[in-house]
Each structure stands twice: as C-alpha cells, then as structure tokens.
Chain A
Amino acid sequence: QKEVEQNSGPLSVPEGAIASLNCTYSDRVSQSFFWYRQYSGKSPELIMSIYSNGDKEDGRFTAQLNKASQYVSLLIRDSQPSDSATYLCAVTGGADGLTFGKGTHLIIQP
C-alpha cells in the first residue's frame, strides 16, 4: 500500500523567510509528484508538479525531488501571510488516483 508521510505541523515561519515543507513516500515506482495547497474550508488547488530528480522553480515556489531517497519537498521563498494554509503532498505511479499525505499546516507570522 502506498504511503505518503508529512509532518502535520503546525510549521510557523516569519513573514519574508523561506518555508520548507517535506514529504516522503513509500512506493519506489512512483513517477509523478504534486503539491497542493488547501485553505481552510476550501478544496485543494495544485501548486506544483514534478516528475524528474532535481529542482523545479515557479515564482516563489521550488519543488525538489530525490527519487533515490524517496523524498520530495516544497520551498516557499519570501513567505507571505497569504501562504498560510495546509500543504498536501501527493504521489502517483499506478493507474489509480493520487495518494495524498495528511498535509502540513503552515502558518506565516506577520
């Protein structure tokens, strides 16, 4: 059974600092990795996807993937209070839907 592990937090980061969110997964054949952001009372929205080892940058967000270590992370630079949310790591490798972690609750302190 696929497992995706995240620290539930809360992770508290001062405004303007870098927030680092981490995720590990159990299924070595996983090929695709996603980070979703979920505000309280809202549905998840896709922030980043990453498929190959290394870094992928999009604006203030950088996703990092290390398949050998089965580890994926999300960095948020210049953190803003509006970044406060729960961040869900998701993994896929088979024919079914994504397997989600339980999410990390991020709080950006003004």
Chain B
Amino acid sequence: GAGVSQSPSNKVTEKGKDVELRCDPISGHTALYWYRQSLGQGLEFLIYFQGNSAPDKSGLPSDRFSAERTGGSVSTLTIQRTQQEDSAVYLCASSLVAGGGNTIYFGEGSWLTVV
C-alpha cells in the first residue's frame, strides 16, 4: 500500500480481555517495527521483524505481549489479559530493510484504552 496501515485505529477494551492489533507495512518493506507511546511520553521500542523473524524480543514489556509476522508482510501484536497500564498508542513502522540508514515510516497508530 501507499503507507503503513494499522487497525483498529481505536480500541476500548475491558481489563483482562485480549486484544489484537494489526499492521500492514509499506509494500516492499521487509523490516517492520512496533513501538508504544503512552500519553505525553516518548516512543518505547517493543520489537522489530526482518522478514518473518524477530531477532530481538527483549523490548516486549511482559509475557502478556507477543507479536508475529507471516508471509513477510502483515504483523499482529497481541496483548493478553490487558491491564490499565497497557493503555497507549501502539505505533507500527516499516523500512526497506532493518538497520543502517534506512528511513522508518510510521502508521497512524492504534489507540488502546483499557477500562
């Protein structure tokens, strides 16, 4: 597609429920990144994929968070048993390949509110 596409754009969920956030990167981009940004805070790196593999999962906040990418394209970030502190905007980004000087382009984000 023309840009990074994320869905849903907004999600309100009850504490304890699971949520899935989807990201469709720019066509041809092999690297995909997930960031989290809490209200008024900076960007927190969660995980990145080069192709379908995720070399570094250490940024995931807890074992309730998981991410996968299949077919080298769409990625899903899953949060199990959501907590109120999970409320944030989850930003997906993509680049041609990971690392180096490759520019990262962001989607519009998925705004998650846990009530």
Contacts and interface: CB of A to CB of B under 8 A. Distances in A.
A49 B41 contact: no
Interface residues of A, number: 23
A92 interface: yes
B115 interface: no
A80 B40 CA distance: 23
Contacts of A32: 100-101
Interface string B85-115: 0000101010000111101111111000000
A102 interface: yes
A45 B106 contact: yes
Interface string A46-79: 1001010000000000000000000000000000
Contacts of B109: 43
Nearest to B34: A97
Given A45-B106, A46-B105, A98-B104, A103 B93 contact: no
Interface size, B (range): 20 to 34
Nearest to B55: A95
A96 B42 contact: no
Interface string A15-49: 00000000000000001101000000011111001
Given A42-B108, A97-B93, A98-B104, A88 B43 contact: yes
Given A43-B109, A96-B48, A96-B55, A34 B42 contact: no
